[in-house]
Amino acid sequence: MATTLQDIADRVAPVLATSSNQKSLKIDCGEDGIMVLDGKQVAMDDRPADCTIRMSLENLKKLLKGELNPMTGVMMGKMKVSGNPAAAMELARYLKG
């Protein structure tokens, strides 16, 4: 399993590059960094996005392993979602790719 946000980005980039995605999703892990799935690319800088999810890197790892349910994470305050949640749902499949 990836240990850094960059590791996750490196794993997602090839899958996203071959997609038909046109939405953007920012994952803000605070001091651990920001990853933006933007169209067919992954960026590691802060930029506007259709949807932003704020969570710790540890909770992101749990989410990717299936140890944290997205709905439960939001309800428990482990994740904060702003913007268009449909973009998050559409792009979530690439994170597991």
Q: Would you say 55 and 78 are in contact if contact means Cβ atoms under 8 Å apart?
A: yes
Q: Give me the domain span that covers residue 76.
A: 5-96
Q: Write down the pLDDT at residue 11.
A: 92
Cα separation, 87 vs 67, in Å, equals 22
Structure tokens at 54: 């704020």
| pTM for this prediction | 0.91
The helix (run of H) or strand (run of E) holding residue 75 is: helix 70-75
* Per-residue pLDDT at 10 exceeds 90: yes
pLDDT tens per residue, range 36-88: 999 999 999 999 999 999 999 999 999 999 999 999 999 999 999 999 988 98
Split at pLDDT 50, 70, 90, the class of 3 is confident
What CATH number is attached to the domain comprising 26?
3.30.1050.10
User: Per the structure, how many domains does the chain have?
Assistant: 1
Neighbours of 63 (CB within 10 A): 21
3-state secondary structure of 65: helix
d(CA 88, CA 60): 13
Identify the pLDDT of residue 94.
82
